[in-house]
Amino acid sequence: MDLSSTFSALLLVLLLPLLCFLYLSRDPRKKPRADGLKAYPLLGTLPHFIPGLSGGVITANPANVEHILKTNFANYPKGDLTVSTIEDFLGHGIFNSDGEQWLWQRKAASYEFNNRSLRSFVVDAVRFEVVERLLPLLERAASDGRTLDVEDVMERFAFDSICRVAFGEDPACLVTEEGMSASQSTEFLSAFNEVQNGILARFMSPVKSLWRLKKVLNLESERRLREALETVHGYADRIVRERKERGAAGLACRDDFLSRFAASGEHSDESLRDVVTNFLLAGRDTTPSALTWFFWLVSGRPDVEDKILREIRAVRASSSVQQGSTGRATFSFDELRDMHYLHAAITESMRLYPPVPIDSQCCKQDDFLPDGTFVAKGWMTTYSAPFKYPVFHAGPRMCLGKEMAYIQMKSIAACVFETFSFKFVGRNEHPELMLKFTLRMKGGLPMQVYKRSK
């Protein structure tokens, strides 16, 4: 047998298993439904027994996600791995708890979010921030011809709003164009970002328990995280302490979320601090992420911007006829509800660029997903499509603040587009994606602001 024949035979032997594997991989139905751990070439099941490593499944199949988040919800809690990794940041708040501990918080929060007075309070808080801070800031930027980082502006707006709505606190981060607000709030925001980076680094480590060793040894990344956590917890503790003192003196505003939560007197200071950090995480990052991508998308679609503007003007004109011309800079809840195209545009933007593009749950007992995929006990299931729309989660853990988020986003977008337009002036045609706790733009969103002619 000559050399070429030997080489051809050897190549066939090597390629045949690969071709069979590729053929079987094309259709999930052809994959074997085998119980137990996945076996790897040469290594077998050994990787599953290496300390610190864990298996997992990543899926975007809507049927699988519905199974995880709804149908078999009880089998997919957050899990000890996630809870322990985030515990020193979020404690045992609503986003980092399971079972009864999660359930009582969910019920309490659900009751408050369905309260009409809270909805009115949200509208009033957003109106104040838009009229007194956001619109004047954009007015100055348009007049001076300066470039604004819209992502930064939206984050500061959201931080002011969530603090006002949730805690009756006004950090005034949007008071100046450069974000140089009260030093305490500025320090907190910097620390909050540092904490998120540190927690994310824990999750990104290939050895999930490695951060524990770094924490014990007080290595640089964990030392920075510990120092940032001290600032975050100090800020949250102050809010709780002042709210309780004002409540005892009969001076507290009973409309903010924290005051309502603390009114029963059943919760410890630590539990109330967890309420503060959990709601700050929910309110400060998700809405700004959604609006940042929305403003960028609309800046490249003048046809969409024109339809949004025509709808805003039609709603304004209709209200003026019914109520008389008031010269208001904002819109009522009913007016925002009538802006169907704006609602659809924001929703489509979030479909394309979901604020939280991926999430995970831990498998409690061995399971099979609807497509036949085996999930072992203790594995993390990571998903990116709550059924078919990956924005407000799904199932029993569905986002309670969905309506509040839409009120805020539509109010900002309507008030801004009625008076201003934007031009994207970034270096690249498409901003670079940066995944933190939410989907962000690397380098922010530089925009030129223009005032519309009357």
In order along its 454 residues, the chain shows pLDDT tens digits of: 565 666 666 666 666 666 666 665 555 444 544 445 556 666 666 665 666 566 788 888 889 988 998 899 999 999 888 899 999 999 998 888 888 888 888 887 787 777 666 677 788 888 899 999 999 999 999 999 999 999 999 999 999 988 888 887 888 888 754 444 456 677 888 899 999 999 988 887 767 778 888 898 988 889 999 999 999 999 889 888 887 777 676 665 666 677 777 776 677 888 888 888 988 888 888 899 999 999 999 999 999 999 999 999 999 998 765 554 455 678 988 899 999 999 999 999 999 999 988 888 999 999 999 999 999 888 888 877 556 666 777 778 888 778 888 989 999 999 999 999 999 998 888 899 887 888 899 999 999 999 998 6
Judge whether 413 and 304 are in contact, CB under 8 Å.
no
* Amino acid code (one letter) for 32: P
Query: Which superfamily does CATH assign the domain made up of 53-451 to?
Result: Cytochrome P450 (1.10.630.10)
Alpha helices, H only, 130-268? 135-144, 150-167, 183-204, 210-217, 220-248, 257-262
Q: Using CA atoms, how far apart are residues 154 and 447, in angstroms rounded to an integer?
A: 12
* 3-state SS assignment for residue 43: coil
* 3-state SS assignment for residue 420: strand
Q: Using CA atoms, how far apart are residues 131 and 128, in angstroms rounded to an integer?
A: 5
Residue 403 tokens, joined = 């309506």
Mean pLDDT, the chain, whole residue set: 82
At 30-54, the pLDDT tens digits run 454 444 555 666 666 666 566 656 6
Q: Using CA atoms, how far apart are residues 288 and 150, in angstroms rounded to an integer?
A: 9
Q: Where are the beta strands (DSSP E) in 369-412?
A: 374-375, 380-383
Residue 57 tokens, joined = 């499944």
Burial class (CB in 10 A: 0-12, 13-18, 19+), 218: exposed
DSSP 425: -
How far is residue 147 from each of residues 144, 153, 417, 450, measured CA to CA in Å? 9, 12, 17, 10
Residues 6 or more apart from 274 whose CB is under 8 A from it? Answer: 90, 91, 92, 93
Residue 12 tokens, joined = 């066939």
* Amino acid code (one letter) for 198: G
Q: Using CA atoms, how far apart are residues 63 and 66, in angstroms rounded to an integer?
A: 5
Q: pTM of the full predicted structure?
A: 0.82
At 176-231, the pLDDT tens digits run 544 444 566 778 888 999 999 999 888 877 677 788 888 989 888 899 999 999 99
Residue 378 tokens, joined = 């203790």
Instruction: Find the distance separating the first CA and the last CA of the chain, reported in whole Å.
Output: 88
